[in-house]
Structure 1
C-alpha cells in the first residue's frame, strides 16, 4: 500500500523541489544583490570620508559640497542624500536636496553599520578623522592612535532594484512540462513490464515451461531484484528515520544539560554574591561597633578597604590598565602606601637595571593598593629592621612583574597564609579585611603569591603578576656614575639599580675616598648618601662643597642627618630611600650654569692669567694648559663646555690637539674656539676642518667675552 502511494508521487515531489530551488535561488540572488549594494555603499562612504577630511579641516564647505555633489552624480546606485556634519553636530556641507531628505528621518541615527530608516532606505554614518594611517588594504582606513574626529559623514541610499520573480516563471514551466513527460513515459514503461510479468507468471503456473523464452526468465529475475531493492530502500528509510529521531533526542538532551549547567552556574554566582553581601554587611556592622576603639588612621584604612572590597564584588567591575614607566610610578605612589605619606627610612629599594627599557600596562590603582597592604604588614612585622623591596621584569615562561618584600623579622601569621590561599578555617572578621582584599586583588590581576619564612633568617614575600609591556629605545642618561654610601651592605643594591640610567656605576664607602675616586675617572654624576654622624663634619662639608663646584652632586640624607648637614651644604638634600626616578629627574633638570667648565690652552702664562681674570666674574670654573699634551690629558679626565685653543703650542699644533680631543666621546659636541692673534680665510677653513667651531682673535674685550658666554649654553643634558 505504501509503495502504491509513494511511487506515483515522485514527479510531484520533484516538481516541488524544483520550485523551492527556484524560489531559494531568487532569494539568494536578492540577498547577493543587497550585499553588493551595501559593500559598494561602505566603500563609497569611506572614500567620501577621506575626501571630506581636508575640506573639513580647512573649513571649506563649498569645495566639500561640490565633491559630494560629484560623488552623488557619478554613483552607480541611487543616492538620496550626502551630508557632512562637524564635530559640533552642525551641518557643514551637503548635496542638493539633502536637507529635505534628512529632515524626514530626524533625529538621525548614529551607527557605523547601515541602518534601514524608512521605505527601505539605508543610512550610513562614518566618522571623519584629522589624520589616517593605512593598515592592510588601502581601501580600509584606520584612524591613528592620536587622531581627532573632525565630524561625521551621513549618506542615505535608496533601496536596490529587485529582480522580478516572473523571470523565473518560464523556467518553472519548462521544468514542470519535463517532469510530466518523464512521468508519463515511466508510467507507460511500468505498465508494459507489469503485463509481461503477469503473463510469465500464468505460464509458469500452467506448466508451459517450453513456451517460456530465455528473455522471460531474465524479466522475472529483474522483477525479483526490483522488489528486493524496494524492500532494502524501505529498510534504509526506516533506519534513517530512527537515526534522525535518536539524533534529535540526543540534541534535546544536550541542550537540556547545557541549560541545566548554566542554571547551576548562575545559582552558584548568585549564592556567592549573596554570601559576599552578607559578609560585607557583617564587616560594616562590626566596624560600627568598634569605631570608638580604633584610631582615625585605622578607621580610615578599614573604610577604604571595605569600599574597595565592595567594588571588587560588583558585577560591573573591570580593570583599567595604564601605560607607564614603573620607576616614575613608584616614586609618585610609594609614599602613599604609608599613613604619613612618607617613605620610611627602613625601606631599601632594589630596582630593575632595565627599568627604563619597558613601558608597562597594568591597573595601577589595584597595584598600588596591593603594595600598600603588604608594605604596611611588613613594616609592622619587621619592627624597625630594614625592609628590601625589589621588582624585576621576567619574560620566561611569560611576561610577568615580580615584586619581592624581604625583611628579618616575624613572618606572616598562619591566619594571613590561610586567607591569601583562600583556605580559612573559620568565619572572616574585621581584622581579616586587608588579607581578603589582597586575595581578591591577586585574583583580579591573575597573580600568584609565595611566602617563605625561616626562623632567624627572615621572611620573603614574592608576588608574580602577568603584565604586558612595550620595549622602548630610550638610551641611558649618562655614561658614568659614582655613588658613595658608608653602609657597605647597601652599595651593591644601589649600583645594580643605577645601572638603569648609567652605563658605568662605581662606588666608594667613605667620604675620604671620594676626591681620589673622581680624579681617577671621568664622572658625570656623584651620588652621596650622607651619614647620620661624622667626626670631621665641617671638613667633609667643605670638601663636598668644593666638589659640587666642579661635578654634579646629588645628596640623599635621613631626617636625622638633614639637621646635621643642611646648614653646611648649599645644595638640595633629597630624602632616603633613594629611587631611580629622583636621580633621573635630577639628570634631566640640572642647574643652569652650576657645572660649566672652561679650558684655556695657551703657552703664554700672561695671556692665561689675563683670560682667567676676564672670565672669572662669569661664575665659570677655568682650567689652564700650556702644552698640547696637558690639554689632551685634562680633556680626557674632565668634561668641558668650551675650550679656547691656541694654534701655536710648543709640542703640538692646536689643530692636532683639537683632532685628538674630538676623538674623545664626551667632547664630540664641545664648543672649541681657535684662540689666535691673526687668522686668514684659508687658515680659518683649516681650523674648521680640524674640528673647531669658530675663531676668537686675541686679545679679549667685552664683546668677545659676551661671545664666549653665548657659546656656553645651559647644561640641559649630560651626553
Structure 2
C-alpha cells in the first residue's frame, strides 16, 4: 500500500498542476473573446452616437463627448481617440498611456481589431461632412478613425475557487489516508514485538500458551476499534469530497447560466444596433417628428435595458405639465388626423410624485403606437389622475379604424421582444416601462372597432388648493360624451359653469345670461349657414377650437385653434385674455370718500374696473383719456354742478350714448327733469342699496 501511495503522489501533483494551467489559459482565452465582442459592439454604439452630430462639434466638444461615451461604457475603457486618415490626432479622452503611432494604425488594414503590445485595440472608420474648424483642414469629406483602448483586466482567480477547493479536499483526503496507514503499520509492528518478547521470556515458558491467546485477543480487539474509527474518518472525508464536487458542479451551472445571459445580452445589443441602423436608413418613410420620436424612444430603450438608470421623481401638477408637453406630442399627428385630450378634475387639485421623463416617454410611446392603427383618423387620449385609494394615473388612448395589424397585436400579447422590427421602438419601450414602474398595460384591438390602449400606473399624490375663476363660463361641444367629461373636469376651475351641445340651445343661453367666456368646440362638419350667421352676430368674448378635418373652413369664418391644443391648464389663460378686453369700466364721480369705498366693496366680486374722481375737472380729464361704460355722477361737486359736467360729457363724441346716472340724496320732480335735460339717463339715490345697485349694474349689462 505504501508503494502505491508513493506512485500515486507524483501523478496527483502533475494532474493538479495541469488542471490549474488549463484553467488559467481557458480564462485568458475567454476574457479575450469577451473583450473582442465588447469592443465590436461598443465601437458600433459610439459610431452611431457620434455620427449625427460630428460635423457640428469643436475639438473641445469632441473631447468632452468622447469622455461622456467613455464614462457610459459597459466595460472599462482607458482611452477614446479620433484620428484623421493620415494619422493626425483630433480629439482624445482618458489618455493615460502612449497612444499608437500612425504606422501602427495603418497596420490595421481591413481588420477592425488588432493586438498591439499585448493589448486588443478597436479601430472604427467614421465618415462625416467636413468640420467647420480651421485645424481640421478644408476637405469636403473627412475619413475619421475612432480608436478604443480598453483597460487591462487582472486575472480573476476568484472564479476558480471551486477547483482550488476540490484540490484541497483531495489533498487532505490523501494525507489522512497516508497517516492512517502509517499508524496502522506502526501498531502492528509494536504488537508483533510485544508478542515476540513474551514468547522468548524464560519466566513465561510454562504458561506461554495460556497468555498468548488473551493478548492476541485484546490486540485484535483494539485493532478492530481502530479500523472502525479509520472507516468513519474515511466516510466523513468521502462526504466532504462529494460535497465539494457538488459545489463545483453548482458553480459550473451558475457560470454557464451567466455566460448564457451574457450571450443573450450581446444578441439584444446586436439586434438593437441593427434596428437603429435600419431606422436611420428608412427615415424618409416617416415624418420628421415621428422619426425624431422613434429615435428618442429607441435611445431611451437602450438606456433602460442595457444601463442602470435611476428614477428621479418630482412633485408636479399633471394639468400644468401636460400643457407644456402638448406641443411635442401633437407634432406626431399626421395630416388629416384629429386628437382630443380629456382630463380629470383631480389633475388640477392634486400633485403627484412621478419621473417626468418616464411619463413623457410613456405618452409618446402610446401615441406613436396608436397612430399605427389601420384606417384610424380620430384619437382620444384620456389622462386622468384618480386620487381614490389606491391612487392611480389612468392613461387611455382610443382610436377608430380597424385596429393594429395582427403581427403587432400578437407581439403585444406575447411580449416577445425578439420579433420586433425597426419601427417597433414604441412597443419595446411601452412594455419595458410598464414593467419598470409596475403599471398594468392592456391592449384591445379589433377589426372595425379600433384600438383601445390602457395603462394604469400606481402613484402617490397630495391634495392641492386651486383657485376658482371669478366669472361665468359657457362650454359648447356637439359631442355629448366628450362634453360631459370636459364639464366634470372644468368644474374644479369655476363655480359658474354651463354647457350645451346644440346651436339652438347655445343661442338661447346667450340671450338669457351674460358670460365672461364662451368656449366653442366646433363640430367636425363643414360650417353651414346657421353657424355663419351665429358667428357673425356673437359679440361676447369667446375662443374656438376646430378639428383638423374642417379646420381651414372654420378658420375662414372665425379665428380658431386646433382641437388638440385644448387642455385644462389653458382655461385660466383664456379667461384672463377674454376678460382683459371684456371687463366693463365704471366711473364714480363723488367727493365723499365713504361713498367711494362702499361702491368699491360692492363690485369687488364683479369683473368691473372701478375709476374714481373727486371733482368735475378730474372727471372730465379722465373721460378724455379713457372710454367708460357707465358713469355715476354726483350732483353737488366742489367745483361744478353735476348737471354741468353731464352737459360737457354729452358734447364729447365718445359719450353721446354712454349711460350717465345722477348720484344724489334727494330728487324732486323738477330736479329730475333738470337732470334728464342735462343728458342724464337715470337717478341713483344715496345711501346706496346693495340689491338695487346690483340690479342696476345688471340692467346696464356691466356683468
Give me the TM-score of the superposition, normalised by structure 1: 0.45
